[in-house]
Amino acid sequence: MRIKFDALISHDITYVGIIQTARASGMTRFPVPYILTNCHNSLCAVGGTINADDHAFGLSAAKKYGGAFVPANQSVIHQYAREAVAESGAMILGSDSHTRYGALGAMGIGEGGPELVKQLLGNTYDVPAPEVVLVWLENAPPRGTGPHDIAIALCGAVYGNNFVKNKVLEFAGPGLSALPMDYRFGIDVMTTETACLTSIWRADDKEVAGYYERHGRPGAYKPLAQGDGALYDAMIRIDLSSAEPMIAAPFHPSRAFTIKEFNAAPADILREAEREAAGQFGGKTSFSLTDKVKDGRLIADQGIIAGCAGGMYDNIREAAAIFCGDLTDTSARTAGPDMTDCRARVAISPAAGGGAFSLSVYPSSMPVNLQLIESGVQRSLIRAGAVFKPCFCGPCFGAGDVPANNGFSLRHTTRNFINREGSKPGDGQLAAVALMDARSIAATARNGGAVTSAAELEYAAPGVGEAPAFDGEIYKNRVYNGYGRPEPDAGLVFGPNIADWPRFEPLGEHLLLRLAGVIFDPVTTTDELIPSGEASSYRSNPVKLASFTLSRRDPQYVGRAQATRSLGEAHRRGERPGEALAAITAAAEFLGEQIEPGAVQISSAIFAKKPGDGSAREQAASCQRVLGGGANICYEYATKRYRSNLINWGMLPFLTDAEPEFDGAPGDWVFVWGARVSLTGGGGPSGRIRFDALLLNAGGARSLTLYSEALTEDERAIILSGCLMNYYAEKNKNAG
């Protein structure tokens, strides 16, 4: 499939690099609406003015090229898209992995920045036609069960077995009518954690039409439903009435347990997280979670309700209702459906946690925040002891409410990967996050941090009553919207930390790859490949950012990669470093071939069993490339988007067989004979490309089978050119 999208959307740790790449490739205007939001690098205390410089660049780019600019703290990226961008039947490509607007009938796909660059240059998003999985919803969820509970259960059922990997989820069924829009959004945005390609929902009922109407965009609605006799490749049935409050234990959203199961054996479940941390970091950290279990209940340190998954009005409103008291007697009920009369008769209890438990709430947008104020919800939660914070994605990726060493945080956010919350194992600091729905986080807060299911409490759920009216004036007064009105003569505003990409060499005839990182974890996330938190301040400076690569997983990687890059630079100058020449000679002897050293390109590589789970961030690949990386070797790529990022940055996405297990180590060499020829002409009936390779180390040489799954002609050309920018530069040169 070759797809052109109706709109593009990015946030402030991706849009600078995308625009820099696109302008270097010949872009002169935004050909489709491109929305630049500021919700990731908006906490300018991290990195000082560096982040604000990126925002100044973004506004100048929106003016110059004709785009939209949403100032910092106005909205998180996906809530703005729901409120102001998505349309039924439209397609939106975003540079954030949680780009999901299917509940509104808009198909959103999250990819790395280079895929947006292709759209900005008028080219297509190329993907094999995906299989489609029907998600059939029945009945209605019980009181105390929220969207995160459904989403965590879904992730637990399908992530580990790859049941929906790179497929489209299509939500339908009679249970849809029981779910208000915020509930649907909360499930939809979490489909990213199943490893599916994207999701789409039936959009033919009053909820969807009413949402567009309430947000001043009735023309954006049109019915969207499957036709009679529609066929699917697979099916998932969810009985909403049997759903229970869930918890995703560290360190993955798919480690799903009902809270009842978790509380039956918390120490046993947490020991698994301790073992995982010990396996990754050995003696570098002192990490214990089981000592937080008191009288059979885990005592958490903090609760967070935030962002595109948790920060919606309905979630926060029901969390507030839990603090209004045990109102089983409806005659004593003080909280109406809109929460106006709730006075928070119950507070965050200090009993279990000794007063240490904290609850922070980050609304998803300023219009939502105003609704919370006008309805009394914010007043109620503040009175109970909660703290309200800006519209900011920080807690989701480690730039806000970072727990103390050995801390345990409960979050209604999208991910709980190891180190994603901002800890620094290299400095001896490690913490943990479990995912829970806002309802159970509020119930836990009432119990002083003792993990508690909202279903355990008797409270008066506020029902489906409408929120106060959406106030679109907030965006009209603050958002710059210049689509269709570019100002070509306007200048871009560059801060001192905004740097151009370095030059990348085309692919050599043969490759000599030194293993700079070897990781045998079951999965390696993009958060480990390039961490969040303080590193985010340098997303606009490729060289500075690269120094953080794998810093929380393998701190020696950067030094090894830099040393290999220096060898490669010397080799290109004709100096023929001895250790590299020895490896080339050993390869020639083993193969019985004459190998001209000048035809060999020296780069570094990473081996990981299954790299690339999580974020769409292109920097997980580009930082390797900046450090001289030329390839990844793995058994399986966790996501299509990470593999695409490797390709777009000119790196070969090698696969190798899991049996026998790969036995390379840091410092070993991998020689790829005739890499350029294989890439140019390889590919059997299935499209798989085989590469002849050797593993070279102190024990000698042995054959190593490497291959790549099917690559399009454009993808091959990008790798041959050295990266997407080189590819477009060549096309422009040939066209001119």
The CATH number covering residue 171 comes to 3.40.1060.10
Structure letter (DSSP) for residue 251? B
pLDDT tens digits, 605-652: 999 999 999 888 899 999 999 999 999 999 999 999 999 999 999 999
| For residue 330, pLDDT beyond 50 | no
Confidence of residue 328 (pLDDT cuts 50, 70, 90): very low
Question: 494 lies in a domain?
Answer: no
* pLDDT tens digits for range 537-589: 788 899 999 999 999 889 999 999 999 999 999 999 999 889 999 999 999 99
Is there a single domain that holds both residue 51 and residue 149? no
Q: Which residues pair with 450 in a beta bridge?
A: 299
Q: Is residue 224 part of a domain?
A: yes
133-142: average pLDDT? 97
Q: Are 98 and 308 in contact (CB under 8 A)?
A: yes
DSSP state of 296: T
pLDDT of residue 286: 76
CA distance linking residue 87 with residue 94, whole number of Å: 15
Q: Per-residue pLDDT averaged across 200-223, rounded?
A: 94
Domain match, 451 and 313 both: yes
50, 21 in Cβ contact below 8 A?
Answer: no
Residue 495 lies in a domain: no
Domain count, the chain: 4
Q: What is the dihedral of CA 357, 362, 367, 370, to 10 degrees?
A: 30
Strand order in the sheet with 358-362: 256-258, 246-248, 432-436, 408-412, 302-306, 358-362, 387-388
Q: Does residue 195 share a domain with residue 138? A: yes
In 609-722, where do the E strands start and end?
611-613, 629-634, 652-655, 669-673, 689-697, 700-708
List residues bridging with 411 in a β-sheet. Answer: 304, 435
Calculate mean pLDDT across residues 324-328: 54
Is residue 736 very low, low, confident or very high in pLDDT (cuts 50, 70, 90)?
Answer: low
pLDDT, tens digit, 9 for 90 and up, residues 175-187: 999 999 999 999 9
Q: What stretch of H or E contains 314?
A: helix 313-322
Q: Is the dihedral of CA 344, 345, 346, 350 positive or negative?
A: positive
Instruction: State the Cα–Cα distance between residues 648 and 448, nearest whole angstrom.
Output: 49
| Pair (79, 143) in one structural domain | no
Whether 253 and 159 have beta carbons less than 8 Å apart is answered as yes
* β-strand partners of 2: 126
Dihedral (Cα; 421, 524, 613, 624), 10-degree rounding? 100
Question: Is 415 found in the same domain as 275?
Answer: yes
Over the range 616-633, which residues count as b (16 or more CB within 10 Å of their CB) and which as e?
bbbbbbbbbbbbbbbbbb
> How far separated are the first and last CA of the chain, in Å rounded?
29
| Residues 239 and 264 occupy one common structural domain | no
Q: Specify if 658 maps to a domain.
A: yes
Mean pLDDT for 312-330 is 77
Torsion, Cα of 578, 583, 585, 586 (10° steps) = 140
pLDDT above 90: percentage of residues in the chain? 75
The residue out of 243, 278, 308 marking a domain boundary is 243
Average pLDDT, the chain: 91
Tell me the two tokens of residue 571: 């080799």
What is the average per-residue pLDDT within 70-77? 95
Q: What is the pLDDT of residues 581-616, one digit of tens each?
A: 999 999 999 999 999 999 999 999 999 999 999 888
CATH number for the domain spanning 695: value is 3.20.19.10
CATH of residue 427: 3.30.499.10
Residues 384 and 467 in one domain: yes
The span from the CA of 393 to the CA of 343, in Å, is 28
Angle between helices 113-120 and 640-648 (to 10 degrees): 60
The verdict on 161 and 70 lying in the same domain is no
Domain assignment of residue 266, yes or no: yes
Contact indicator for 170, 232 with CB cutoff of 8 Å: yes
Do 202 and 83 reside in the same domain of the chain?
A: no
Whether 642 and 534 share a structural domain: yes
Name the more confident of 615 and 350.
Answer: 615
**Domain end point (choices 94, 121, 148):** 121
Question: Among candidates 245, 379, 360, 381, which has minimal Cα distance to 301?
Answer: 360
pLDDT tens readout for residues 714-730: 999 999 999 999 999 88
Q: How far apart are CA 265 and CA 293, in angstroms?
A: 10
Check whether residue 307 and residue 396 sit in a common domain. Answer: yes
Alpha helices in 509-639 (DSSP H): 526-529, 542-546, 557-572, 578-591, 619-626
d(CA 308, CA 312): 7
The two tokens of residue 628 are: 């001289």
- Largest Cα–Cα separation, the chain: 91
Q: How confident is the model at residue 434, as a pLDDT? A: 96
Q: What is the pLDDT of residues 473-508, one digit of tens each?
A: 999 999 999 999 999 999 999 988 898 899 999 999
Question: Are 374 and 276 contained in the same domain?
Answer: yes
Task: Give the tens place of pLDDT for each residue, 447-464.
Answer: 889 999 999 998 877 765
Q: Which of 121, 147, 169 is the last residue of a domain?
A: 121
Between helices 181-188 and 313-322, what is the axis angle to 10°?
Answer: 110
- 2: containing domain: 1-121
Q: What integer is the mean pLDDT of 399-420? A: 90
Distance of CA 394 to the CA centre of its chain: 13
- What does the pLDDT look like over 426-445, one tens digit per residue? 778 889 999 999 999 999 99
Nearest to 77 by CA among 157, 122, 15: 15
Whether 375 maps to a domain, the answer reads: yes
By DSSP bridging, strand 302-306 and strand 358-362 are parallel
For position 333, what pLDDT does the model report?
Answer: 41
pLDDT grade, residue 327 (50/70/90)? very low
| pLDDT value for 335 | 44
The verdict on residue 493 lying in a domain is no
Q: Is 295 exposed, middle or buried (0-12, 13-18, 19+ CB in 10 A)?
A: exposed
Q: Which amino acid is at 659?
A: E
Q: Give the Cα separation of 736 and 734 in Å (integer).
A: 5
What's the rounded mean pLDDT across residues 661-680?
A: 95
Contact 37, 12 (CB under 8 A): yes
503 belongs to a structural domain: no
C-alpha pair distances (Å), 231 with each of 127, 202, 234, 443, 446: 21, 15, 9, 42, 47
Q: Which class for 218: exposed (0-12), middle (13-18), buried (19 or more C-beta within 10 A)? A: exposed
